[in-house]
Structure 1
């Protein structure tokens, strides 16, 4: 970081008798350019009138970092909060419509205009009431939105003394001048000043110190503050520079103010450059510097002093800078990178061993795009899942949007849009990075005949084939339909393709009733999927039960239950475990063997027969008969006693 003198710039010389300053380096992050893009497209359009923006600077960087003035996405919101222990700076944005206008802009005139406003605030006393008026900046930009190239030139206007500023006592670290008690008292007094003024940092302040006490005050309370202070007058400046011999740029305009207001009564002034650094959790202000300068007298007439401040480019010359964000500024790319970053931050901070790739790459098939389907889809997107496919044959009705967050009132009009197609389309609008598809189709069910005609039989055959292809092409299948019958066929196909959990049962519960249950159930279903995916054995992992809650968890995310039964009435969850039932009508060996040998012919028998067909096949009918016989026998025994 090079320090510079007033004008022209000279190499830094620690032994120089004139005070030199470290200039600002602009730090305009990607969020700022993205927000400027949105403003340009949706609000500014061809409007080139100046806009007020906001940045901030920080005084706690380690040694070697340049003094930065940062602008981020919140620069356009005057009500946005400033980061903790950072000082705000307000500026003017001149955004041009063409590169030619950017190049030909009268930069000298812009600087003089801004400098005059600072000078007027000094002469009128407004800068004493509001010191932030001294910390103004300019930003000249041109955004080439076809290529996402951003040209900019940053300026922090600084008024100059004609003959510079002479040093009386060279800068030394505060720790070499102040005792530990004084340092602690200064830190406390500064914090109390910020708290009383309701700010994150105070740019300029007055200081009185004695052996074991330090008092600070805003500039506007100058009159009377130093009445009991003999000797030097000390002022503090929130200093973004971390060089040991030079102050940062914000001091320049303050010294102009000090000379104009108090130069006729003060020969010199002591300056404390307040630097507030936290290293390894320990706060330290001892690296702040303190020095004394001669305050020029009668240096100014009524006219504004000369001003400097345009930033040099990356090559060290007087010229603009350019940022090429073509790879990341496309809104879709930016959305994807933001989603990825959010997941990585979660991983880094909460579960460092989490295998995100297993989750993000999972291809999920959602059978049902209703209340549960919408909730599951949104939670999957929250986990970064990129492939989501819906299957549903219903249309959106007027009662749906209030419980199903992927739909709106307009989707219900004219008979309603097909749910599966509308859900897939809405996911794309929410996050363009997701690959979502919708299939408007029925799922044949046991006991629902399809042999009315060749047409219905052909359609059923087609629907079954499509469902088989979809289940085969996806890694995870969610059964989110209303009835047990509608879940039968997908359960059979998934079990046949080894895409079901080890400890499983065919769910017999239907649609939830209380509105909050759908969101809870949908979120839990996705969390179950994530937990299973994190286990080395995946779906073949042993299911965790309620008894395992006190044991060592099998994965970084904790337990790996395969199902959860909850009771919202008492806010209680249990984790049941059941081995695969050998007489299950969906995944028992007899059913799977028949399906794998006969294919659609077997399924057609199930569709066209009564429920007793599957019960006879699996042995459930015989089991019921034996159970009833045992109950009768037990009753006879009881009656004979």
Structure 2
């Protein structure tokens, strides 16, 4: 209890301090404000709280802050009084500890004092109910450190108790109590509020009148010795008033002590007991006002809250245990992304990163590393029909293949980015075709022993824009040309897919192979590197204004201004995979043994067995019937369809002719 000492023969007036009540919603909202708005800003912020005077006996007087504390226009809960405050949220625990608490208190006290001297507190009594909140939010551990302060001005002289305190029912008759309730309710209704923090009272045996503080001159006209004021009191102790009375008594002493010798205080307490309204437990007492009408200086102030141990110090609330593990993981990722925006990459478009839906096909070593980086959360167990793997042995097998294709089509349709992370070449064919048809961004990653390739497939233009220039007749058989000026400024819709490398259709790549040839044997760190680069490539593409249609960055662009806030948007990054015969996509290819990456760029191949217009047209016209032909036929079916067979024949004829010419020249 805080006290003001009276004359030796009179009792002390003591006040019950506030107990801060900051609920989980407040900390959640502070977290969002810190991440999305405040960031590194430590400037003071306006917040609001409220207090209530209808608690049962034994409960402390609470000043509550909840999720709405940051919305200054939010309505105050019913039968509660508002309190305005200032939030000082620090960036580090050290800043929190070293904050000048004395200075903060003095600044707040001066604001209250100025409102008293100027008369602003009479017009708006809420200005007397200021509070401070010093915080530090450790968002990695969900530990919130805080120190609450309710500034109270100290009177230069003691406040002797002349009479009381006693229960209102000992001084007021039942008729007077009912008249008080009615007068108070009518004034609240007139002002459009559910509770008034302070009000003026006049009463006799037959009536009770109440009014606003700003009307005190007219309301108390003719009174000479004593006035009566009401305070909405959050305390429920029988002998002590609550903390809000302190600043009001300073106002009364400053403005009225020259006119009145004492003030009668009615601590208005309004609770519901067993369904019936009860204000009879309110207390009333009289105190002598000290002389301070001409004092120019701000009185000394107190108000920092004691901690749980009763000492002067901050408090800490640990919310980590009440957080759902999934939500905690999501918040940690969100925190990392938000921190990027504060200083490192202010232009990062987080919404594109957070909202994108990714489908990962393949859950082996490579797929798990990509999933770990992305945090995907839902799994599907299914088979992907493949070229060279017949499905026509029985109607059951064929029907199962049809269901697998339908499920795969639905999954690709409902996601934004498709990751191809399977073991075999042929398992990537069907999702590559479906994704190309549905204009989905495809990120492809594949491993060798110490080499990898990470690439984005070319993203086809919508049909209405014309498809004549999607797959130019351009085949490059040498990796030496990649990254040169010949491959500069290639837009995303002209880039090749995973199968544009090859002049052979996909087939059963595991038939008649030894165990080590059937498995992807890789150096242990390769999958993690390739998986991480696959995710980073996707994010970089998403940050580009044109997305998957962005012009591919090549190795020559490494010294130029990057096209996105996160850098380049290559077609490929590669660690040269020896089993890839031609290199014509935009990807990241890496060499783990040389600790080197290159960024080749290439055009789409008009005879590609996956993304060429002939394949896509057939798939879109015939659907599963076309796919069944691919699954059940040899690789020659796709080669005949796309023109690869004719290309082979022409190439062989050219080689024979060249050999003949060479022999003739030798003779």
TM-score (normalised: structure 1): 0.53
Deviation at 1:80, TM superposition (A): 1.3
Deviation at 1:461, TM superposition (A): 3.5
- d(CA) in 2 for partners of 1:417, 1:242: 57
Deviation at 1:243, TM superposition (A): 0.5
Q: 1:328 — aligned with what? A: 322
Q: Determine helix, strand or coil for the equivalent of 1:296.
A: coil
Q: 2:193 — aligned with what? A: 199
Gaps of 5+ in 1: 337-408, 419-431, 443-450, 468-641
Gaps of 5+ in 2: 331-351, 360-373, 385-389, 407-667
- d(CA) in 1 for partners of 2:203, 2:382: 78
Q: Determine helix, strand or coil for the equivalent of 1:20.
A: strand
Q: 1:243 to 1:433 in 2, by over 3 A?
A: farther
- d(CA) in 1 for partners of 2:325, 2:110: 39
After the TM superposition, which residues 1-150 of structure 1 pair with which residues of structure 2 at under 5 Å, given as runs? 3-6=1-4, 17-150=11-144
Q: 1:257 — aligned with what? A: 251
- d(CA) in 2 for partners of 1:16, 1:334: 58
Deviation at 1:6, TM superposition (A): 4.8
Q: Determine helix, strand or coil for the equivalent of 1:5.
A: strand
- d(CA) in 1 for partners of 2:59, 2:375: 37
Deviations 1:37-76 (A, max 9, x none): 1111111000000000000000000110000000001100
Q: 1:232 to 1:141 in 2, by over 3 A?
A: same
Task: Tell me, yes or no, if the aligned pair for 1:56 and 1:88 is still in contact at 8 Å.
Answer: yes
Instruction: Say if 2:295 is the partner of 1:301.
Output: yes
- d(CA) in 1 for partners of 2:358, 2:146: 48
Q: 1:335 to 1:184 in 2, by over 3 A?
A: farther
Q: 1:230 to 1:187 in 2, by over 3 A?
A: farther
Deviations 1:328-375 (A, max 9, x none): 246955899xxxxxxxxxxxxxxxxxxxxxxxxxxxxxxxxxxxxxxx
Aligned match of 2:275 in 244, 259, 281? Answer: 281
Q: 2:463 — aligned with what? A: none
Q: 1:499 — aligned with what? A: none
Instruction: Say if 2:452 is the partner of 1:458.
Output: no
- d(CA) in 2 for partners of 1:277, 1:463: 69
Task: Tell me, yes or no, if the aligned pair for 2:86 and 2:133 is still in contact at 8 Å.
Answer: yes
Deviation at 1:170, TM superposition (A): 1.6
TM-score (normalised: structure 2): 0.51
Deviation at 1:223, TM superposition (A): 1.2
Q: Determine helix, strand or coil for the equivalent of 2:226.
A: coil
After the TM superposition, which residues 331-342 of structure 1 pair with which residues of structure 2 at under 5 Å, given as runs? 332-333=326-327
- d(CA) in 2 for partners of 1:229, 1:434: 75
Q: 1:25 to 1:417 in 2, by over 3 A?
A: closer
Task: Tell me, yes or no, if the aligned pair for 2:143 and 2:319 is still in contact at 8 Å.
Answer: yes
Q: 1:267 to 1:324 in 2, by over 3 A?
A: same
Deviation at 1:84, TM superposition (A): 0.6
- d(CA) in 2 for partners of 1:200, 1:108: 35
Q: 1:549 — aligned with what? A: none
Q: 1:335 to 1:71 in 2, by over 3 A?
A: farther
Q: 1:82 to 1:321 in 2, by over 3 A?
A: same
Q: 1:434 to 1:202 in 2, by over 3 A?
A: farther
Task: Tell me, yes or no, if the aligned pair for 2:159 and 2:289 is still in contact at 8 Å.
Answer: yes
Deviation at 1:228, TM superposition (A): 5.5
Q: 1:150 to 1:6 in 2, by over 3 A?
A: farther
Q: Determine helix, strand or coil for the equivalent of 2:14.
A: coil
Deviation at 1:86, TM superposition (A): 0.3
Q: Determine helix, strand or coil for the equivalent of 1:208.
A: strand
Q: 1:314 — aligned with what? A: 308
Deviation at 1:454, TM superposition (A): 4.0
Deviation at 1:297, TM superposition (A): 1.1
Deviations 1:256-286 (A, max 9, x none): 0011111101000100000001122111000
Task: Tell me, yes or no, if the aligned pair for 1:208 and 1:229 is still in contact at 8 Å.
Answer: no
Instruction: Say if 2:230 is the partner of 1:241.
Output: no
Q: 2:169 — aligned with what? A: 175
Q: 1:464 to 1:156 in 2, by over 3 A?
A: same
Q: 2:422 — aligned with what? A: none
Instruction: Say if 2:266 is the partner of 1:272.
Output: yes
Task: Tell me, yes or no, if the aligned pair for 1:441 and 1:463 is still in contact at 8 Å.
Answer: no
Q: Determine helix, strand or coil for the equivalent of 2:13.
A: coil
Aligned match of 1:158 in 152, 155, 160? Answer: 152
Rg comparison, structure with higher value: 2
Q: 1:266 to 1:134 in 2, by over 3 A?
A: same
- d(CA) in 1 for partners of 2:329, 2:283: 44
Q: 1:300 to 1:313 in 2, by over 3 A?
A: farther
Deviations 1:2-32 (A, max 9, x none): x22159xx9xxxx961211000000001110
Deviations 1:373-395 (A, max 9, x none): xxxxxxxxxxxxxxxxxxxxxxx
Q: 1:255 to 1:264 in 2, by over 3 A?
A: same
Q: Determine helix, strand or coil for the equivalent of 2:218.
A: helix
- d(CA) in 2 for partners of 1:433, 1:280: 53
- d(CA) in 2 for partners of 1:128, 1:153: 29
- d(CA) in 1 for partners of 2:89, 2:79: 30
Q: 1:434 to 1:184 in 2, by over 3 A?
A: farther
- d(CA) in 1 for partners of 2:380, 2:206: 74
Q: 2:437 — aligned with what? A: none
Q: Determine helix, strand or coil for the equivalent of 2:3.
A: coil
Task: Tell me, yes or no, if the aligned pair for 1:274 and 1:288 is still in contact at 8 Å.
Answer: yes
Q: Alignment length, in residue pairs?
A: 372
Task: Tell me, yes or no, if the aligned pair for 1:162 and 1:299 is still in contact at 8 Å.
Answer: no
Q: 1:282 to 1:437 in 2, by over 3 A?
A: farther
Deviations 1:535-556 (A, max 9, x none): xxxxxxxxxxxxxxxxxxxxxx
- d(CA) in 2 for partners of 1:153, 1:267: 38
Q: 2:202 — aligned with what? A: 208
Deviations 1:394-416 (A, max 9, x none): xxxxxxxxxxxxxxx99xx9xx9
Task: Tell me, yes or no, if the aligned pair for 1:161 and 1:299 is still in contact at 8 Å.
Answer: no
Deviation at 1:452, TM superposition (A): 9.6
Task: Tell me, yes or no, if the aligned pair for 1:59 and 1:275 is still in contact at 8 Å.
Answer: yes
